[in-house]
Structure 1
Amino acid sequence: MATITYKCPNCGGGLRFDPKLQKFKCDFCLSEFTQEELEKLAPQQAGDQTVSEEEAAYLGQKEKEPSTEGKNEGQTGAVLYTCPSCGATVITDETTAATFCYYCHNPIVLEGKLSGKYLPDRLILFKYDKKKAEEIFLDYVHHKRFVPKAFFTKDQVEKLSGVYYPFWVYHASVDGQMSAAANRIRTWVTGDMEYTETKVFHVERGGQIDIQNLSRNALQESDKNLINAVMPFRFGEAKPFTIGYLQGFVAQKRDIESEQIAKEMQDRAKRYAEHALERTMEGYSVVTGKQSSFSIKSEQYAYMLLPVWLLTYKALDGAKYYFAMNGQTGEIHGRLPVDMVKLSAFAGALGGSLFVIVLALLYFLM
């Protein structure tokens, strides 16, 4: 994987990835480029291409310090930022000015370059840009009567961040065998007599079941409800990872390795395979005595980044609230704060007798 510059070939300005266009765009001369076009232009601008330390390690090559004199000026690499407050570690390129933690809003500091093994295999690109995400967020909260204004002030909305979350995506081929006793019962009436016919079968099923795109969050301390609420993603649209796609975004660094979740993913694959065989036994009145065996024939892990627009809010009592949106599909989810002053005033206007009902309704509305 050769390194390429992410400066504009026309004017030398910095490029950013535009989710709406699905292209890289220069904000200075307004030129637009696809990833393929940049790769074709890179040799013309950079001469002989070099391989970065991170990419060399990722490809299993010997790491060495590449000579950059007169070559690839302005090329970007992956760097790590660590939040001293909550410990979140995010990945971005060298040109991104990350001034606050997307999760807790505290300042974050540069830690160092990303080691090669953490370069993802693939990623799903953002389809919604920040402007559209802000519009969706504001429309969402304006329909919530009791959300405090502090949650959607201008300064707060500016903290809406495009975050690539790390996931392991698992593929497996499973050999399965299943047997069961099954009955097919038929009842009919002739004259004054009711008849019941029971046919008894021994049912066997077997085969190879291919399980695709089982996903698993690759973070120890992440809010699983936050991420799971905006699932699913369309994995068929994933692209090979290129550092340039992080321009204007940040990405969480994984802290769970595939070996740590191997049994969990294998068990999930076997359960999916079991359900697949069970579905072939439909059409019987009763199915009992199921016996089954499953084994993993082959398996593969892919390290992927999935796009989420995220805005968090820390209340005075320390509670954390958030708005999350799937950056590919637009699916949204939120855990929103409640302005108790507004709620009390509203309840008082309705009358104290309705206060309990209001609280119950609020639970479902929020």
Structure 2
Amino acid sequence: MVVQYKCPCCGADMKFDSNTGKLLCESCEYTSDIDTMKRNEEGNTTSSEEYSNATNSTSYDSEVNQYVCNNCGAVLITEPDTTATTCSFCGAPVVLADRLSGESSPYYIIPFQINKEQAVQAFKKWCKNGRLTPKGFMTADRIKSMTGLYVPFWLYDLHSNGEINAACTRVRTFDQGDYIVTETQHYNVYRSADLNYLKIPVDASEKMNDELMDKLEPFDYSNLKAFNMPYLAGYIAEKYNYTDKDLFPRIQNRVAEYAETYLRSSIAGYTTVNVFNKRIHINPRNAYYTLLPVWLVAYDYQDSEHVFAMNGETGKIVGRPPLSKGKIAAWFGGVTAASFVIIKIIALLMGGGF
């Protein structure tokens, strides 16, 4: 089933607007609330969803599914994981509602807080701040595409309990007559803790680079909302490839590191700390299927395409830009020269010299 949101004033397609948090008709600038989708007809206010539902011929294939655009009648060829897209013929935003039902229905969504124009300007500013990037890259005039994508994540609530044993020492040195005495005290230290972690995100798409998605954190959960299909209008959206059970080993290792770091940080005031035993257990409480906003940037530079990701809520940008060998050499030379000058000044002040 194809869902397209229509303007009640002029009949044009409506898209989610990150500036207002509403559906916007770019043709007549009419806006409509996401939750209520209110419309005013003949002086009466009624609540209804402003979309046209059409019965579409759907052919199932091992690779793609086929839908029909309600606007122009064009066939929409999509990958099986796509839940929202745009018609490549008329540009109308399309939501594939049948792929957002049952277990495929997200629980939460963080709507885009940064629109495309803002994302482009933020990326250009980021490029210009690259001190070690080539001059041609810093101009940021080779943006090939800027795609707004809702990436599927699982948000985990977990409980952990752990304990560690450590052999610690406190070392004290003091003068005693003609001798310098070193006193070492040995301790067997034990720590335990019960810790709760809420909404730890892990991306659930096989298409997304895990390292890139992890670096987009943190997300501001004050903008977390119950899922509603109109948020997807005008953007691309994917559904998860991995269930919460599939990804639990990954989140388990990640949270175990958090817990161990916390336990180690509680051992303070010792000269040396040697952990010789640890036990950390992670229990899952809840896992929420959630769509989080990401701008994917494809950038052409020197016949190569570089891919960057921007947090569509906070504007944080991650990725590996190209580096200028000349700038790196100049930076290293400058640091070396500065270090040499500092060492020489210290030597002169101490009465020495080179």
- Show the counterpart of 1:358: 326
CA contact (8 A) 2:14 2:23 kept: yes
1:114 is paired with a residue whose SS is helix
Q: Amino acid of the residue matched to residue 331 of structure 1? A: K
Q: CA deviation at 1:284?
A: 1.3
> How far apart, CA to CA, are the structure 2 residues paired with 1:307 and 1:249?
9
8 Å contact 1:309–1:327 — kept in the other structure?
yes
| Residues 1:305 and 1:38: Cα distance change in structure 2 (over 3 Å) | same
Distance 1:148 1:207 in 2: 48
Partner of 2:98: 113
Superposition deviation, residue 236 in structure 1: 4.3
Task: Give the AA of the match of 1:327.
Answer: G
Q: How far apart are residue 245 of structure 1 and its match? A: 0.6
Task: Indicate how the Cα distance of structure 1 residues 285 and 239 shifts in structure 2: closer, same or farther if over 3 A, else same.
Answer: same
- The count of aligned residue pairs is 297
For structure 1, which runs of at least 5 residues remain unmatched after alignment? 48-73, 75-79, 101-108, 344-356
CA distance in 1, matches of 2:265, 2:211: 29
Q: Which residue of 1 aligns with 2:37?
A: 38
**Equivalents in 2 of 1:6, 1:146: separation in Å?**
42
Alignment partner, residue 270 of structure 2: 284
Q: 1:176 aligns with which of 155, 162, 177?
A: 162
Query: In the TM superposition, what whole-angstrom CA distance separates every residue of 1:179-232 from its partner, at most 9, and x where no partner exists?
Result: 222222222224533333333322222221112333222122433344344333
SS in 1 for 2:24: strand
Structure with a larger share of its residues in strand: 2
CA distance, structure 2, for counterparts of residue 160 and residue 5 of structure 1 = 22
8 Å CA contact 1:219, 1:256 repeated in 2:
yes
253, 256, 268: which one aligns with 1:270? 256
- Report the Cα distance in structure 1 between the residues aligned to 2:277 and 2:127, rounded to whole angstroms: 51
CA distance in 2, matches of 1:294, 1:162: 39
Q: 1:213 aligns with which of 177, 199, 207?
A: 199
Q: Deviations over 1:150-200 (max 9, x none)?
A: x846xx65x421111112222210121222222222222245333333333
CA distance in 2, matches of 1:187, 1:316: 60
Task: Give percent identity, aligned residues only.
Answer: 28
Residue equivalent to 2:310: 325
| Structure 1 residues 315 and 132: CA distance shift in structure 2, 3 A | closer
Q: Conserved in 2, the CA contact under 8 Å of 1:81 and 1:91?
A: no
Pairing partner for 1:162 from 148, 164, 171 = 148
Match of 2:174 among 168, 175, 188: 188
Alignment partners' CA distance in 1, 2:153 and 2:127: 29
Residues in 2 aligned to 1:286 and 1:181: alpha-carbon distance in whole angstroms: 8
Structure 2 unaligned residues grouped into runs of 5+: 50-69, 71-75, 333-354
1:254 Cα offset (Å): 1.7
Query: 2:62 matched to which residue of 1?
Result: none
Q: Give the counterpart letter for 1:90 in structure 2.
A: T
The match for 1:82 is 78
Q: Which one-letter code corresponds to 2:87 in the other structure?
A: A
Letter in 1 for 2:106: P
Counterparts of 1:13-28 in structure 2, within 5 Å, are: 14-28=13-27
TM-score of the aligned structures, taking structure 1 as reference length = 0.66
Is the contact between residue 81 and residue 110 of structure 1 (CA under 8 Å) also seen in structure 2? Answer: no
Q: 1:285-300 maps to which residues of 2 (within 5 A)?
A: 285-300=271-286
Q: Matches of 1:160 and 1:305 in 2, distance apart?
A: 18
RMSD (CA atoms): 4.2
| Residue matched to 1:241 | 227
**CA pair 5-45 structure 1, distance change in 2 beyond 3 A:** farther
Aligned to 1:260: 246
CA distance in 1, matches of 2:204, 2:225: 19
**1:305 equivalenced with 2:291 (yes/no):** yes
Q: Residue in 1 aligned with 2:340?
A: none
1:91-110 equivalent positions in 2, closer than 5 A: 91-92=83-84, 96-98=86-88
CA contact (8 A) 1:148 1:337 kept: no
Aligned with 1:128: secondary structure? coil
Cα shift readout 1:312-358 (whole Å, capped 9, x = no counterpart): 257897x54224322111122355689xxxx9xxxxxxxxxxxxx53
**1:10, distance to aligned residue in structure 2 (A):** 6.3
In structure 2, relative to structure 1, the CA distance for the partners of 1:129 and 1:205 (3 Å cut) is same
Q: Deviations over 1:91-130 (max 9, x none)?
A: 216xx42569xxxxxxxx9999315212212122211111
Give the alignment partner of residue 128 of structure 1, picking from 99, 114, 125: 114
2:136 corresponds to which residue? 146
